[in-house]
Amino acid sequence: MKILETDRLTLRLQTTDDAEFILELINDPSWLQFIGDRGVKTIDDARNYILNGPIHMYEQFGFCLYLVERKDDQIPIGICGLVKRDTLEDVDIGFAFLPKYWAKGYAYEAASAVLAYGKDTLGLNRIVAITTQDNHASAKLLKKIGLQFERLVQLPNDPEELRLFTFNSRTENHITNTYKLSDQKISLDRLTDAFFNAFTNKNGKEPNVRVLNDLFIPEGIIIKNTDSIPIIYNLQQFIEPREKLLREGHLTDFKEEEIHEITEIFGNIAHRFSLYRKSGVLDGDSFETLGMKTMQFIQTPSGWKISSVAWDDERNGLTIPERYRN
């Protein structure tokens, strides 16, 4: 049964026919790392998991974790929905997607719709979420859809402290309501994600630095300002050496990801301030650091484009403010 529909996705109730997909999803390394081993090792285990989990929860509460399918080909890509746990007072939002469908905006699209459904259709005044402290990608998504970090919590019979995020409809005018975001904000999110993903060559992924030609206006500039003198590049000055660095083995296992952002839009211009993490191996030496990027966007006849990017990295004497680390 279909519950929700977005531009690209359908969210529906799980059935036992989904057992093969669920078996794959909950045994993916990312699920095992951030959610845990559920002991589901066979198709029969997966069927029982569906019956005793989402189907039973839907019968009890009228909501559950829904299967997320792409509209155009009906391929299942993940799960997203609402959960009522015995160990939490409030209903919480949850999601998990196969890695090959990450960085395409699907989780953001599904979670935004679920949050709106919980508030507007189910009448939930408060929705929460929990993540492990090292699950930065989920924390980033929760902040994007309007939840705020509240505190660390420890659930019964679990020694690990988890991060608790909350959304309260009574204060929704004072937080980022991304389930109400305009098409412009969604476009800026996708542009930003594409920018960060262009450089990734982790786990065998092919970097695509030349996609910057499509993301920027032709006159776009990129500024490295990590030293006393800024280095200013046009697109080709920036793309060519980084493409060589990534493809010839000097920079390996590299990944950049946005952790937190503040975006402001006024008419045909926009600005984004991003906390990001980058890590990799440069000429045999591993590194990981945090930094801040400022990105400028303009609306063009072909849609939103990046006009400039500048960045500075954390270093001695310059640290990321604590408010961005939660």
> What is the band of 324 on the pLDDT scale with cuts at 50, 70, 90?
low
In this prediction, residue 68 carries a pLDDT of 97
Q: Could you tell me if 229 and 153 lie in one domain?
A: no
Among 136, 156, 179, give the residue marking a domain's end.
Answer: 179
Query: What percentage of residues in the chain have a pLDDT greater than 70?
Result: 94
Q: Could you tell me if 173 and 238 lie in one domain?
A: no
Q: Could you tell me if 139 and 201 lie in one domain?
A: no
- For residues 152 and 264, what is the distance between their CA atoms, to the nearest angstrom? 29
Mean pLDDT of 2-27: 94
The token duo for 305 is 């484009």
Query: Does residue 180 register a pLDDT over 70?
Result: no
Q: Could you tell me if 98 and 52 lie in one domain?
A: yes
Closest by CA position to 66, among listed 104, 122, 143, 28: 122
Closest by CA position to 164, among listed 136, 128, 138, 126: 128
Q: Could you tell me if 102 and 194 lie in one domain?
A: no
Query: Does residue 315 register a pLDDT over 60?
Result: yes
Count of domains observed in the chain: 2
In this prediction, residue 181 carries a pLDDT of 47
In this prediction, residue 238 carries a pLDDT of 96
At residue 14, φ and ψ (nearest 5 deg) are -75, 150
Q: Could you tell me if 128 and 264 lie in one domain?
A: no
Q: Could you tell me if 71 and 198 lie in one domain?
A: no
C-alpha of 261 from chain center: 12
The token duo for 290 is 């945090």
Q: Could you tell me if 165 and 274 lie in one domain?
A: no
Mean pLDDT of the chain: 89
Q: Could you tell me if 215 and 133 lie in one domain?
A: no
Q: Could you tell me if 270 and 168 lie in one domain?
A: no
- Strand partners for 129: 165
- For residues 292 and 260, what is the distance between their CA atoms, to the nearest angstrom? 10
Q: Could you tell me if 171 and 194 lie in one domain?
A: no
| CATH classification at residue 234 | 3.10.450.50
Among 144, 162, 179, give the residue marking a domain's end.
Answer: 179
Query: Does residue 167 register a pLDDT over 80?
Result: yes
| CATH classification at residue 142 | 3.40.630.30
| Model pTM score | 0.58
Among 142, 158, 179, give the residue marking a domain's end.
Answer: 179
Mean pLDDT of 174-203: 73
For 15-59, the pLDDT digits (tens) are 999 999 999 999 999 999 999 899 999 999 999 999 999 999 999
Q: Could you tell me if 66 and 191 lie in one domain?
A: no
Contacts 24+ apart (CB under 8 A), 40-44: 43/19, 44/19
* Domain extent at residue 156: 2-179
Mean pLDDT of 240-248: 89
In this prediction, residue 170 carries a pLDDT of 53
